Amino acid sequence: MADVEGLIRHYKFAGDSLARDLQTRAEAVSEHGEDRLRSDAMQAQPELSLWSEEALEDASIAGLQRLGFLRRAPGYSARLAGGVA
């Protein structure tokens, strides 16, 4: 049993996100349209960047827990403490 709550990693913003968005569009594998909107904006505004000084790079499990992005589910914490969940 490893009951945890976690975050969604937005890997789509890592590396060459424009190339990845263009590939997704070419393959027609995304139906929500966000890839199209993002790649259109990035092509129209080459200075546009998804980079942020606040971004976390390769955060550790302990770091994610400390920041509240990764938490034990209450039932799992109770089980570890000897209680029944």
Highest mean pLDDT among 24-33, 42-51, 63-72: 42-51
Q: Whole-model pTM above 0.75?
A: no
Question: What are the Cα distances from residue 9, in Å, to 33, 53, 56, 70?
Answer: 19, 17, 10, 11
Cβ-Cβ contacts under 8 Å for 80 (sequence gap 6 or more) = 72
Residue type at position 34: E
The region that residue 33 occupies, defined by phi over 0 for left and psi between -120 and 50 for alpha, beta otherwise, is: left
Q: Report helix, strand or coil for 8.
A: coil
- The pLDDT tens digits for 1-30 are 456 666 666 666 777 889 989 998 999 887
